[in-house]
Amino acid sequence: MAGSTFVYVTYIRTSPEKLWTALTSPEFIRQYWFGMHCESDWQTGSSWQLSFADGRVADTGEVVESTPGKRLAIRWRNEFRPELKAEGDSLCVMEIEATGDATKLTVTHSIDKVDSQFIHAVSGGWPRIMSNLKSLLETGDVALATKP
């Protein structure tokens, strides 16, 4: 299958359970995702939605797989940029693996479109979001207070 993929790997000094909570808790997400609000019950087959602080919908999708503390796969569609929305659904898979005193988080975001503008956009966003997540879990503060 030809397409575009972005992979981000980080190691965080936390447990898989705490990382799972950080990835699925609306209150925690808001802290590291620049004020964004996320809604879902994170059960397989459920919908999810990411909204800006002002209530505009940013992204939507469906939970494809949910294994707490191990793996979260979500179908993902951008809703606020017409050129990205036109590319259709992407797939974001977050894999969590205990590694000694840390937890390995691998984010793989892919779409069935060569030279995807959407994957280009998320390749700039994921490093900032994951840096904030790592810093918040390890120190209690985010690395980037505002989105550059």
All structural domains of the chain, each given as residue ranges with its CATH number in brackets, are: 4-107 (3.30.530.20)
- Check residue 38 and give its pLDDT: 97
Mean pLDDT score across all residues of the chain: 96
- Check residue 2 and give its pLDDT: 74
53-62, 103-112, 139-148: least confidently modelled range: 139-148
C-alpha 99 chain-centroid distance: 21
Report which residue type is found at 20: W
pLDDT at 55 over 90: yes
Q: What is the pTM of this model?
A: 0.94
Per residue in 23-45, pLDDT (tens digit) is: 999 999 999 999 999 999 999 99
Cβ-based burial of 70 (10 A; exposed 0-12, middle 13-18, buried ≥19): middle
- Residue range 118-134: average pLDDT? 97
pLDDT at 1 over 70: no
